[in-house]
Structure 1
Amino acid sequence: MKSASLAMTAWLSFAFIAPGAQAQTQKQTPPRSLLVAAESNSMIWNGVAVAEGNTFVSGPRWTGSKGPALARLDAKGRPKPYPDASWNAWKPGDDPRNVFVNINAIHRDPSGDLWVVDTGAPDFGGNPLPGGAKVVRISLKTHRVSRIYPFGPEAAQEGSYIDDIRFNGRHAYLTDAGRPGLIVLDLETGKTRRVLDGVAATTARADRPIVLGGQTVKAPDRSDLKVNADPLELSPDGHWLYFAPLSGPWSRIETRWLDDPSIRPEALAAHVEPWADLPPVGGTAMDANGDLYFTNLAQDALQKRTPDGRIETVIQDPRLHWVDAPVIDEQGFIWLPVPQMDRVGLFNQGQSKTVWPVSLYRLRIH
């Protein structure tokens, strides 16, 4: 799940009415064909990035994956440690600053570089190690790390699980699925600011369970799993940031408010608007038209929300069981990693129910 987090015991109620709700009708598009891009009998991947013929995959340590934290698939679809073996060699007791401790997301920026979100917390629900939480920028021209953005204790706090990232000029925005809030990163100075901490829009609600196959997903302590601020997307013009807890609903805020460090927390929270009441999602991708593609966990489906609020089912298939963070490439394909997160041992009292092989699919959408 492009996310995992501590269960939150405190939550704030927040009433949402999706703009244009009257236009949100279900529509089934013509059947489409899933193409198998890669399969693995050892690595559980929840992140994917594609660039110039290269395919990169990643997955959190706590899934039980036996593969690298970050890998580039070779011509036969086999994962090879990326950018090298040393970055993937962390073990308990090692210095966490220049290695991958626990990757939760990978993403390409507009320039084409690969960014890696390392939560710095090796265990599910644990605290980030000192110096472990960071964003790592890798040049896809040199295949070397070009910069590390460390998150100090003011950004990656106790209980934080830094989740995903999007880019807007000199700023990047990240979600925190553990300690609910957003993080604004200045890409030039490296400074970070936490915003919207603990507000309703970033906090998972107790009345919105995560259900797959008719069963509510349980945290390791057998309470209902709650994932705070998790999916996020940036509008094509960079004007709006859309975000939500994994189970919804979605909110939006103008990026000009996020980029202004002088705004007080209460004033910033007042600029948050309801946006869309979507079901629990594994991950999302937004295209240049402003169409939001999201993976509906309960329905094993990929759906699309158009800018006018209509919901269309792109494909529904039992093989798409907990699709995580999809990505859209330049050729008009959406890539769908299927980590089956609810089946890992962590959420099943230590007994893995993962159906092997773990798959990565492609689907033409444009």
Structure 2
Amino acid sequence: MILKKFKKTLYALSIFALAHSFAEASAKDNNKSYSTLETIHTFSQNTPPANIAISPTGRIFLSVHAFYGEPKYRVLEVLKDGSTKPYPSITWSSAPKEKGPGLADVLGIVADQEGILWMLDGQTEKRNGRIVGWDIKREKHFKTIILQAPTTTKNSFLNDLAIDRKHNKIYVADSSGALIIVDIESGKSRRILDNSPFTTPENINMVIDDKLVTLGGQAAKIGVNPITIDAKNEWLYFAPMSATSMYRINTKDLLNTKLSEKSLHSKVERYGDKTISDGSVVDSAGNVYITSITDDSIGVTNAMGKYQTLFQHDDISWADGFAIGADGYIYFTVNELHRSPVLNEGKRADKGEFKIMRFAPLAKAEQGR
């Protein structure tokens, strides 16, 4: 009888120990998962980062977000010690004069595999939008491409871009509700998927920290912004910021000028689920990573279309743009944009949590996006 009771007690203790060790292992796994998210650089409140670009040699560049007020310098290089300097130069990084060099309002920024830094400079009331290419190997101006009507409209908001050097094209996300295809050689451009379901926002509210995010006195509902291209330059992935779907289209269809707009619509595929998001980037296995802005997280839509959260933490307060580093890590910026005056009823309420973070992707990822 005593032996029987002892066996029962021993069995209960072993079950308890097993459950405890499983819980402890799970906690360790969770901690390990989050510990792989590293903070690389932090910035002061006068340097709110927008997007990030990383060169083939590992140089890091940032655009500075104008939602916190007009920055002194529009683009910066981040040095190894975390300090920054205006890039390409003080003159180029400053507000443009009437006909001279300079940048007005850069958001999208990408360093391609050939060593060209592409900067998407937004339009103003007096100045057309443009794409400025800078040769970061030779440190000289490469090309400027002007974006103007009918490619752009008076309401255009040139937000982000993807570079396709295989076909010598640049794809621009115009958050007013269209994509723009730009030929690098000729500078010619055309507007596609204008006011389509794939480029305009869904009727969903952006709520962060239990507060409705507003833009211009209304609930913020923003069109196409996340945009990225795979390493083979075969598929362009894109979506409205305010949407629950990620889309893609084959570049051969994008480049087929014989396709009507209606036919082009039929070539767009719904790739999978997503949340309200800002930046995006894709790895070699078709995992599309997004900066999920309403829940302080980084998520991923896999090749089966399923969405999951990879990292979630208060530290990720409005993750913005991605870049794949020369080391294979995925880097991203954090800028608390919902606390900027433009999205917070004219009041600045940020806590100064501006930074660059990184993580290892689920599959190999190549620099240039």
Verify: 1:243 aligned to 2:238, yes or no. yes
The one of 129, 142, 154 equivalent to 2:150 is 154
Paired residue secondary structure (1:336): strand
Query: Which residue does the alignment assign to 2:202?
Result: 205
Verify: 1:330 aligned to 2:326, yes or no. yes
Q: Name the CA distance, whole Å, in 2 between partners of 1:282 and 1:268.
A: 24
Verify: 1:310 aligned to 2:288, yes or no. no
Higher helix share: 2
Change (3 A) 1:140 1:86: same
Change (3 A) 1:289 1:211: same
Answer yes or no: is the 8 Å Cα contact 1:96–1:120 preserved in 2. Answer: no
Structure 2: gaps of 5 or more residues: 1-28, 363-369
Query: Which residue does the alignment assign to 1:264?
Result: 260
Verify: 1:356 aligned to 2:352, yes or no. yes
1:232 CA drift (Å): 1.4
Identity across the alignment (%): 23
Letter of the 2:211 partner, please give it.
Q
Across the aligned residues of Structure 1 and Structure 2, the Cα RMSD in angstroms comes to: 2.1
1:65 CA drift (Å): 5.8
1:117 CA drift (Å): 0.5
Answer yes or no: is the 8 Å Cα contact 2:67–2:337 preserved in 1. Answer: no
Verify: 1:87 aligned to 2:95, yes or no. no
The one of 57, 74, 77 equivalent to 2:79 is 74
Q: Name the CA distance, whole Å, in 2 between partners of 1:309 and 1:153.
A: 36
Paired residue secondary structure (1:62): helix
Answer yes or no: is the 8 Å Cα contact 1:90–1:96 preserved in 2. Answer: no
Paired residue secondary structure (1:202): coil
Query: Which residue does the alignment assign to 1:175?
Result: 173
Letter of the 1:48 partner, please give it.
I
Q: Name the CA distance, whole Å, in 2 between partners of 1:266 and 1:97.
A: 41
1:361 CA drift (Å): 1.6
1:160 CA drift (Å): 0.2
Change (3 A) 1:245 1:315: same
Q: Name the CA distance, whole Å, in 2 between partners of 1:256 and 1:364.
A: 31
Answer yes or no: is the 8 Å Cα contact 2:228–2:281 preserved in 1. Answer: yes
Higher relative contact order (CA 8 A, sep 6+): 1
Query: Which residue does the alignment assign to 2:283?
Result: 287
Q: Name the CA distance, whole Å, in 1 between partners of 2:291 and 2:34.
A: 16
Q: Kindly report which structure 2 residues correspond to 1:53-68, keeping only aligned pairs within 5 A, or say none.
A: 53-64=58-69, 66-68=71-73
Letter of the 2:38 partner, please give it.
L
Q: Name the CA distance, whole Å, in 1 between partners of 2:275 and 2:288.
A: 13
TM-score (norm: length of structure 1): 0.84
1:357 CA drift (Å): 4.3
Paired residue secondary structure (2:159): strand
Deviations 1:170-190 (A, max 9, x none): 222111002x11101111111
Q: Name the CA distance, whole Å, in 2 between partners of 1:331 and 1:75.
A: 15
Q: Name the CA distance, whole Å, in 2 between partners of 1:285 and 1:150.
A: 26
Query: Which residue does the alignment assign to 2:52?
Result: 48
Q: Name the CA distance, whole Å, in 2 between partners of 1:211 and 1:194.
A: 31
Q: Name the CA distance, whole Å, in 2 between partners of 1:53 and 1:209.
A: 38
1:97 CA drift (Å): 6.7
1:282 CA drift (Å): 2.1
Change (3 A) 1:304 1:219: same
Verify: 1:189 aligned to 2:192, yes or no. no
- Bigger radius of gyration, 1 or 2? 2
Query: Which residue does the alignment assign to 2:270?
Result: 274
Q: Name the CA distance, whole Å, in 2 between partners of 1:56 and 1:156.
A: 26
Letter of the 1:245 partner, please give it.
P
Q: Name the CA distance, whole Å, in 1 between partners of 2:263 and 2:100.
A: 35
Answer yes or no: is the 8 Å Cα contact 2:225–2:240 preserved in 1. Answer: yes
Letter of the 1:202 partner, please give it.
T
Change (3 A) 1:230 1:98: same
Paired residue secondary structure (2:34): coil
Verify: 1:229 aligned to 2:224, yes or no. yes
Paired residue secondary structure (1:269): helix
TM-score (norm: length of structure 2): 0.83
Query: Which residue does the alignment assign to 2:14?
Result: none
